[in-house]
Chains A and B, each alone.
Chain A
Amino acid sequence: GEDVEQSLFLSVREGDSSVINCTYTDSSSTYLYWYKQEPGAGLQLLTYIFSNMDMKQDQRLTVLLNKKDKHLSLRIADTQTGDSAIYFCAEGRSNDMRFGAGTRLTVKP
């Protein structure tokens, strides 16, 4: 089974904010990542956060990390139709990364 868990689907209206949640299990993970995957494509690195931080903002993206609860979230402000994709969170371990199953974000006009 997955060590990293995400809800499978999220649907929002264009212009609204999207919040994608993730829980992980390895407290020794030093970095936590968000990747975006569009149909038929590889993974695009969106942002990442170091485990000693609790928040990181990058333009429309805000990452929140609750290390005590091992909970990570990605907020996309002013969601656009081009944001429709699958979003993966991943925990960075010593030699590998563990991914969740992905959250499919659908943005309705």
Chain B
Amino acid sequence: DAGVTQSPTHLIKTRGQHVTLRCSPISGHKSVSWYQQVLGQGPQFIFQYYEKEERGRGNFPDRFSARQFPNYSSELNVNALLLGDSALYLCASSLAPTGYEQYFGPGTRLTVT
């Protein structure tokens, strides 16, 4: 069975640009969460979606947005990129929002120059 998949694997953007990251959850999983992992730190929660509804949002600016599609895949959008947005962006899927294991994808490495 396929695990959580994310695309692209790596990308390089310049300051001020916009980026879209994509995630496909494990088959049967309806909840998707996004995390930002800056080098040397633990992942920080950005968003959680369940059944296409936002269920939780971390302490990130409005430049960050996300959505979940009817097939439960998800996109994370970041506008007006800053150098500090350079990080590994991780997507995690679970059966439901709480009380279930979250399985992570390999991540998208974003570099902002």
Interface residues of A (CB under 8 A from B): 2, 4, 30-31, 33, 35, 41-45, 48, 88, 90, 92, 94-102
Contact = CB atoms under 8 A, between A and B. Distances in A.
Contacts of B48: 95-96
B8 interface: no
State the majority secondary structure of interface residues on B: loop
A35 B90 CA distance: 13
Tell which of A2, A31, A43, A94 has the most Cβ of chain B within 10 Å: A43
Given A95-B48, A96-B58, A43 B43 contact: yes
Given A88-B42, A92-B99, A97-B45, A42 B56 contact: no
A96 B45 CA distance: 6
A99 B99 contact: no
